[in-house]
Amino acid sequence: MESKELIIVDVFCKECQIEMTLIEELEDFGLIEIIQDQGLKYIYTDHLPHLQKIIHFHNELNINKEGIEVVLNLLERLNQQTQKLKYFEAKLQLYENN
């Protein structure tokens, strides 16, 4: 097993008061990654913000898995465009200062 920090899925589910079946469905759909080792299921702790965002979309906004996938893709594209915009703004600033 890798040296990244992991959390047991059962513990996460109890803390967040969600059903294990939801996590399994999200994994089956390809929205999250679950690591299995010695009969236990784990999630990387650095993936928790992503998972919590997905759970929020599902539980609070009632978005289905297909909709969550679309929303996540759109958010990623928006983030990429924002980064490009910042890059070009910085480049333009260099030309304006000369």
What are the structure tokens assigned to 80, written together?
A: 């990429």
Series of mean pLDDT values for 10-residue runs along the chain (98 residues)? 80 94 95 94 95 96 96 97 96 86
> The domain that contains 44 carries what CATH number?
1.10.1660.10
Domain contains 1? no
Residue matched to tokens 């910085």: 90
pTM of the model: 0.81
Whole-number pLDDT of residue 1:
44
- Structural domain count of the chain: 1
What are the structure tokens assigned to 88, written together?
A: 């070009």
Domain contains 24? yes
Domain contains 32? yes
Encode burial over 4-42: b for 16+ CB neighbours within 10 A, e otherwise.
Answer: eebeebeebbeeeeeeeebbeebeeeebbeeeeeeeebb
Whole-number pLDDT of residue 3:
53
Residue matched to tokens 């993936």: 47
Query: What is the extent of the structural domain holding 78?
Result: 6-97
Domain contains 66? yes
